[in-house]
Amino acid sequence: MASSRVRQAHGNETRELIVATAERLFAEQGVAAVSNRQVSEAAGQANNFAVGYHFGTKADLVLAIVRRHAPAIERRRAEMLASIKGSSDLRDWIGCLVRPLTEHLASLGNPSWHARFIAQATTDPAFRRIVIDETVASTSMQETIEGLIRLMPVLPEEVRAERGDMSRQLIVHMCAERERALQAGTATPRATWEAAAVGLVDALVGLWRAPFTPTT
């Protein structure tokens, strides 16, 4: 029994090491450019097939990375939603899109890799739907999207969908750029993740309130 617990603990440690290593490599080089074997080697695994043994396919590994961070982000968003319940202020609902991620990235310290991993994965045709579907499916994200729709009834459905895509791109890639700059030690437009969140919320409120041209 004791030996079984030791093996399980060792297996958990190995999986965590593989996930952390894969996230860094995928963030730096792109998901398609890094093989499962390279991940295993970089994680110091003697077995070059360690990724397949512990996770299965590369898609399974990508999903594991997303799910590694999801509980902390989900918890932050749920707390924010509870605090703005019934709000009619668009900034509150945009904040629920932005701040759970920026606060989580701030908690990771420097360097972190998560924003760059998400940026790489969501621009890869083989993995973008896995990442987007997993993120959008969360209870807190669904509630946030519903809140935005209630506040913007004038927007046609296709315009709301388009601005949702624009919002995701802006949040992910601005966070990835900031994460990259922090690691490199180069200047960033905002001094802190909190200030960066304010800038993102300002921009996205303007985006959602922008006029639209009806299509014929």
pTM: 0.92
173: nearest Cα among 117, 126, 110: 117
Q: What is the pLDDT of residues 14-23, one digit of tens each?
A: 999 999 999 9
For residues 114 and 108, the answer to whether their CB atoms sit within 8 Å is yes
**Would you state the pLDDT for residue 19?**
97
Which residue, among 151, 69, 133, 67, has the nearest Cα to 102 in the 3D structure?
Answer: 69
Reported confidence tier of residue 6, pLDDT bands at 50, 70, 90: very low
Instruction: Parse the chain into domains and list their residue ranges.
Output: 2-209
Report how far apart, in Å, the C-alpha atoms of 91 and of each of 69, 72, 214 are.
Answer: 24, 22, 25
Beta-carbon contacts of residue 111 (< 8 Å; ≥ 6 apart): 179, 182, 183
Share of the chain above pLDDT 90, in %: 88
8 falls in which pLDDT band (50, 70, 90)? low
pLDDT in tens, 47-87: 778 898 999 999 999 999 999 999 999 999 999 999 999 99
Q: How many CB atoms lie within 10 A of CB 108?
A: 15
Q: Are 39 and 25 in contact (CB under 8 A)?
A: yes
Rounded (10°) angle between helices 128-136 and 114-121: 120
**Could you tell me the sign of the dihedral formed by the alpha carbons of 158, 159, 160, 166, in that order?**
positive
What confidence score (pLDDT) does residue 49 get? 84
Widest pairwise Cα distance in the chain: 70
Query: Where does the pLDDT of residue 9 fall: very low under 50, low under 70, confident under 90, or very high at 90 and above?
Result: very low
Q: Does domain 2-209 have CATH number 2.60.120.10?
A: no
User: Considering the chain, what is the average pLDDT of its residues?
Assistant: 93
Of all residues in the chain, what percent are helix, strand and coil, respectively (each to 5)?
Answer: 75, 0, 25
